[in-house]
Amino acid sequence: MSVASERSEAVEETTPASVDVVVVGAGFSGLYAIHRMRKAGFDVLCFEAGDGVGGTWYWNRYPGARVDIESVQYSYAFDEDLQQDWKWPELFSPQGDLEDYINHVADRFDLRRSIRFNARVDSVVFDEEERRWQVGTEAGHRVRAKYVIAATGPLDATNVPSFPGIDTFEGELHHTSQWPREGVDLRGKRVGVIGTGSTGVQVVPEVAKVAGHLHVFQRTPAYTVPAHNRALDPDYEREWKENYAQRREMMRHHPNALVLPMTQHGSVFDHTPEERLAILEEAWRSRSGLLFFFLFNDVLTDIRANEVVAEWFRGKIREIVKDPEVAELLCPTTYPLGSKRLSIDSGYYDTFNRDNVTLVDVRRDPIVELTPKGIRTEEAEYDLDVLILATGFDAMTGSLLRLNVVGAGGVPLREKWSGTPWNYLGLMVSGFPNMFLVHGPGSPSVLAQMVTQSEYQIDWIADLLSHMEQEGLETVDTTTEAERTWCAEVTELANGTLFPLADSWQKGANIEGKPQSYMIWVGGFDAFADRCDQVAAAGYDGFVLKP
């Protein structure tokens, strides 16, 4: 007997041949999907590529990894006892605390028995005759399911740029999203970091603290604001817990699924330069991340307003970074503030004042190749013991395409999405009946708080499935007309903002050869959820349900 068939027999012993729902991925969305589908009376089985739960917070365990939304908000609302019982040590949780929380949730709701770990899904094929999905994993599982929920996360498929010579590098090479569980010993070593997006700005200050020398290879500088992270104030926690129900309701009706207790100051141009300065300085001292944008209502829509704030921002960098040349290199100038995700950091700019840190501008002096010893640019060579790739993800579509989904009529999702990633409400793709996306292209995705969105989308899917079972329906699909109209709306809304002006992962610009279109619904989570509610109330308008 071959090793492969032994393996698939072992797997069959513990895995049913068919279930109602297969969930792909055991991150925040996938875990809630298991719980919610069970509650709705479905048999559910989840496949997870890792050996633990947590998704993003399982994989991205690099030093400095931390959420940029307050943890009292970035957490599940579905169980009142859970949100009352759980104690978040810090305002913005580090990866380890998020992993503890998600493991607690998995145990508390007995979710693990429905999960198969170390089981990367590598085929999802629709059998038209049976009207069932056949789901397969690299580990050899084969399961039929009436419904599939792809809870694969928008930022999961790692992007490793194809640097010539990458396989010849003799030091340690790590991508931040595949950081070893046992950690990496960086003490006293010559370390390089490629990438200065949200991940880069988090990992760089931590690495600098321990490395012998750190070279940061920057192609595009980031805008990042101080996180102001701190221990969670017990009074703040108590106040949140006393008002959770009302706060969660506010989040449902907020464009970013957040509670933002702050003053909005109208247009950038409603103020004198002195007033503006006072508002921005106060914010820099006390606020972080997304909150920063809501100070004025035109920063993300008016390039002139954006430039006023961006220039003030560059002033902050020049203030912090002592070497004027390094400060200039760190100043973003090629894209509007906020059109790439604003990062939060703990001492990022200040790190470049350290003697053991060197910024390398690989826009001016591009990387030519990796060598056995390190990195060779056009003008120099850098010897490294460890190279860290903080080079991001094949976002939005990558994690879905690698499932090798084949829909009705034998059409691969890869073919369907060879140009635009067609979808309706970010939830379904026509020709792929009974398959649902969570945080898919066309949804608000990272522009709103993800946990609340996960719960909303999964509740919406669960209600639809319950409706189908009650009515004796077998399949639901969307139409090409509905997805064309939706995608046109996604594009039109985005074009009314500055988001598409950046060459970011949000429009696929970070991956060579990837078709580009702005993939995120910028109309706000509140409007998105209202629309999904209306669609359901109108008998699932834009969907075709069949007996």
Tokens of 142: 């084969």
Q: What part of residues 410-439 is at the interface with ligand N01 (CB under 6 A)?
A: none
Residue 410 beta carbon to ligand N01: minimum distance, rounded to whole angstroms? 34
Residue 298 beta carbon to ligand N01: minimum distance, rounded to whole angstroms? 22
Residue with tokens 């989904």: 405
Q: Is 391 one of the binding residues for ligand N01 (CB under 6 A)?
A: yes
Residue 351 beta carbon to ligand N01: minimum distance, rounded to whole angstroms? 15
Residue 94 beta carbon to ligand N01: minimum distance, rounded to whole angstroms? 10
Q: Is 142 one of the binding residues for ligand N01 (CB under 6 A)?
A: no
Q: Is 291 one of the binding residues for ligand N01 (CB under 6 A)?
A: no
Tokens of 129: 């005759």
Please state, in angstroms and rounded to a whole number, the distance separating the CA atoms of residues 295 and 187: 41
> Which of 251, 268, 344, 429: binder of ligand N01 (CB under 6 A)?
344
Strand 44-47 to 115-116 pairing? parallel
Q: Is 449 one of the binding residues for ligand N01 (CB under 6 A)?
A: no
The interface region with ligand N01, picked from 65-73, 185-193, 232-240, 294-302 by CB under 6 A, is 65-73
> Which candidate, 181, 164, 154, 215, places its Cα nearest to that of 58?
181
Tokens of 34: 């298991």
Residue with tokens 């809630």: 32
Residue 382 beta carbon to ligand N01: minimum distance, rounded to whole angstroms? 13
Please state, in angstroms and rounded to a whole number, the distance separating the CA atoms of residues 67 and 57: 9
The interface region with ligand N01, picked from 15-23, 26-34, 62-70, 524-532 by CB under 6 A, is 62-70
Residue 288 beta carbon to ligand N01: minimum distance, rounded to whole angstroms? 10
Q: What part of residues 212-231 is at the interface with ligand N01 (CB under 6 A)?
A: 219-220
3-state secondary structure of 69: coil
Tell me the CA distances in angstroms from 512 to 185, 445, 508, 509, 516, one per residue in order. Answer: 32, 22, 9, 7, 10
What are φ and ψ of residue 140, in 5° steps? 105, 0
> Which of 45, 106, 119, 194: binder of ligand N01 (CB under 6 A)?
194
Q: Is 153 one of the binding residues for ligand N01 (CB under 6 A)?
A: no
In degrees to the nearest 10, what's the CA dihedral of 512, 517, 522, 528? -110
Residue 219 beta carbon to ligand N01: minimum distance, rounded to whole angstroms? 4
* Exposed/middle/buried for residue 297 (C-beta within 10 Å: 0-12, 13-18, 19+): middle
Residue 392 beta carbon to ligand N01: minimum distance, rounded to whole angstroms? 3
> Which of 30, 94, 192, 195: binder of ligand N01 (CB under 6 A)?
195
Residue 63 beta carbon to ligand N01: minimum distance, rounded to whole angstroms? 12
Nearer to ligand N01, 339 or 430 (CB): 339
Residue 161 beta carbon to ligand N01: minimum distance, rounded to whole angstroms? 3
Query: For 152, left (φ over 0), alpha (ψ -120 to 50), or beta?
Result: alpha
Nearer to ligand N01, 226 or 407 (CB): 226
Q: Is 155 one of the binding residues for ligand N01 (CB under 6 A)?
A: yes
Q: Is 67 one of the binding residues for ligand N01 (CB under 6 A)?
A: yes
Taken in order 71, 76, 77, 81, is the CA torsion positive or negative? negative
> Which of 71, 198, 434, 449: binder of ligand N01 (CB under 6 A)?
198
Residue 442 beta carbon to ligand N01: minimum distance, rounded to whole angstroms? 17
Residue 380 beta carbon to ligand N01: minimum distance, rounded to whole angstroms? 15
Please state, in angstroms and rounded to a whole number, the distance separating the CA atoms of residues 383 and 198: 25
The interface region with ligand N01, picked from 270-278, 387-395, 461-469, 516-524 by CB under 6 A, is 387-395
Q: Count the site residues for ligand N01 by CB under 6 A.
A: 26
The interface region with ligand N01, picked from 38-46, 304-312, 388-396, 528-536 by CB under 6 A, is 388-396
Tell me the CA distances in angstroms from 534 to 4, 487, 530, one per residue in order. Answer: 49, 18, 6
Q: Is 342 one of the binding residues for ligand N01 (CB under 6 A)?
A: no
Q: Is 454 one of the binding residues for ligand N01 (CB under 6 A)?
A: no
Contacts of 370 (CB under 8 A, 6+ apart): 163, 164, 165, 166, 168, 169, 376, 387
Please state, in angstroms and rounded to a whole number, the distance separating the CA atoms of residues 74 and 97: 12
Residues in the chain: 547
Q: Is 93 one of the binding residues for ligand N01 (CB under 6 A)?
A: no
| Cβ-proximal residue to ligand N01, closest one | 197
Q: How large is the angle between the packed helices 244-252 and 234-242, nearest 10 degrees?
A: 80
Q: Is 55 one of the binding residues for ligand N01 (CB under 6 A)?
A: no
Residue 20 beta carbon to ligand N01: minimum distance, rounded to whole angstroms? 33
Nearer to ligand N01, 191 or 362 (CB): 362
Q: What part of residues 358-377 is at the interface with ligand N01 (CB under 6 A)?
A: 362, 367
DSSP symbols for 466-526: HHHHHHT--EEEE-HHHHHHHHHHHHHHHHTSSGGGS-SGGGTTTSTT------S--S-HH
Q: Is 200 one of the binding residues for ligand N01 (CB under 6 A)?
A: yes
Q: Is 161 one of the binding residues for ligand N01 (CB under 6 A)?
A: yes
3-state secondary structure of 106: helix
Q: Where are the alpha helices (DSSP H) in 331-479?
A: 348-351, 398-401, 413-416, 450-471
Please state, in angstroms and rounded to a whole number, the distance separating the CA atoms of residues 541 and 482: 9
Contact characters 494-523, ligand N01, x per CB under 6 A: -----------x----x-------------
Tokens of 417: 């999405």
The interface region with ligand N01, picked from 35-43, 180-188, 310-318, 386-394 by CB under 6 A, is 386-394
Which residue ranges make up the site for ligand N01 (CB under 6 A)? 66-68, 155, 161, 194-200, 202, 219-220, 341, 344, 362, 367, 390-393, 446, 505, 510
